[in-house]
Amino acid sequence: MLNYIFITKDIMNNRHILITGGAGFIGSNLTEHFLKKGYKVTCLDNFATGHKHNIEPFMQNSNYRLIEGDIRSLETCKQAVEGIDYVLHQAALGSVPRSIKDPITSNDVNVSGFLNMLVAARDAGVKRFVYAASSSTYGDSESLPKVEDVIGRPLSPYAITKYVNELYADVFSKTYGIETIGLRYFNVFGRRQDPNGAYAAVIPLFVKQLINHQSPTINGTGDYSRDFTYIDNVIQMNELAMLTTNPNAVNTVYNTAVGDRTTLNQLISHLKDILSQHDSQIADIEIIHGPNRAGDIPHSLASIDKAKKNLGYEPTHAIRAGLEEAVKWYVDNL
């Protein structure tokens, strides 16, 4: 089935991964996963959105190295890729609202920083460059499910930056021969996702508010839907993309999702139900509805057929199972 499962642990121990944004939500989960498998992992992070407490458990691991630096520095990127076999590029400034408020910084990090990493990886002879793309690339396309080769016009500066990443990766693959794979993340959630700050994602924000007996605010009527994707599915996709030996699987992009959609009203219902098992008062908390948010698309649902066919992807967590694990983590850590 999957060629990579036959790779021995001794070979793995000799492989070195660079995870940019390695102190962030997704990056720290990837770090934990690959360290447990015996890989050497270097983390590059400037802690603009990542947190040192996310990587504290790894600091005493002899296979772990931290470089505190910014991908907007080409020299820093070149230092980070020395001796690296694979790059898992997670570093970015996320959030549609953030990009609308400050498009210049989002572009500097997400486009210029991405290009720096591509150049550094090319010059260092990195085997493969796997990067975090985004479902925002589908823009105003109304077709469902979202299929990789059918996109619309971007609806935010953030979406533009992530689409430009895909264009640069494609050009570098064709021009320089570096293998690239983009993973279009669909609303990733799970352990270590930050519930604080102005740009907190909806699930950790709602969980935090409900735990504190505060009323969450849903943008709009709550009928907007998303393909919420648990972190373990994302880890699986990164590993498959990094290690695939299928020549037809590289130099392209893949939806990284579950292939199912949940409305915001359904999401809140799930969260209240799960959290009320820990605190019965949460079941009675009122939900507030506010205006729709600029740059948001009404519905998002991924086709994962391409990832299944080319990579052997099989998501392990649907929305309810992922929420139950995520809520347990938040209850234990908030």
Amino acid at 197: G
The closest alpha carbon to 189, from 229, 242, 240, belongs to 229
The pair of three-digit structure tokens given for residue 238, joined into one six-digit string: 């990164």
Number of C-beta neighbours around residue 97 at 10 A:
15
Peptide bond into 97 cis (omega under 30): no
The pair of three-digit structure tokens given for residue 64, joined into one six-digit string: 């772990």
The closest alpha carbon to 185, from 126, 117, 133, 125, belongs to 133
Where does 81-124 have alpha helices with state H?
96-101, 103-107, 113-124
The pair of three-digit structure tokens given for residue 211, joined into one six-digit string: 């735990």
Q: Of 158, 163, 224, 230, which residue is the catalytic one?
A: 158
Where does the chain have alpha helices with state H?
9-13, 25-36, 52-55, 74-80, 96-101, 103-107, 113-124, 157-176, 202-211, 231-243, 264-275, 305-311, 319-333
State yes or no: is 158 an active-site residue: yes
Active site residues: 158
